[in-house]
Amino acid sequence: MAEVFTTRSVKGTLDLGRKLAERFGVGDCIALHGQLGSGKTVLVRGLAFGLGVTDEHAVSSPTFVLVAEYAGRIPIYHVDLYRLDKAVAELESLGLGEMLQSGLVLIEWAERAADLPRPHWAVTITATGPRSRRFVLERVP
């Protein structure tokens, strides 16, 4: 069953990420879906803060390196598939299995992945106004 959350500011999105971080741990994968500028990286930043990352500047979109790692209470692997030419990114070639064994994996532009691990979580983000966002969180079996 999907859960729906609404935020009305960047701070609200960060707070939502902090709150949701309590639910996730080692072995979880979260696929983030949404248009450019919808708030995927802001949500990732909130999740990272909720998992103990303290450096406000540590979390940014890893577009040019594909994977960034953040040290929190557990390792956080932030994957961004935006720059890939094809919608068939092989996540195993990025070391997805090893990442899942040791930490939490967050994948922006997850629709470009050839195959996501099962089960995983999906977050679909929709801009509903200049600063407001709608987040739909669901478990994908």
Domain locations in the chain? Answer: 3-140
The answer to which of 12-21, 32-41, 111-120 has the lowest mean pLDDT is 111-120
User: What does the pLDDT read at residue 136?
Assistant: 98
Look at 56 and 75; give whichever has higher pLDDT.
75
Distance between CA atoms of residues 38 and 82, nearest Å? 13
Residue 23 pLDDT > 90 = yes
CATH of region 3-140: 3.40.50.300
User: What does the pLDDT read at residue 87?
Assistant: 47
Distance between CA atoms of residues 60 and 137, nearest Å? 22
Say which DSSP state 111 is in.
G
State pTM to two decimals.
0.91
Say which DSSP state 64 is in.
T
User: What does the pLDDT read at residue 81?
Assistant: 87
Distance between CA atoms of residues 94 and 33, nearest Å? 19
Residue 69 pLDDT > 90 = yes
User: What does the pLDDT read at residue 86?
Assistant: 57
Say which DSSP state 46 is in.
H
Find out whether 141 and 74 touch, Cβ atoms under 8 Å: no
Q: How far is CA 9 from the centre of its chain?
A: 18
Find out whether 33 and 107 touch, Cβ atoms under 8 Å: no
Distance between CA atoms of residues 48 and 58, nearest Å? 9
pLDDT digits (tens, 9 = 90+) for 96-127: 889 999 999 999 998 888 788 889 999 999 99
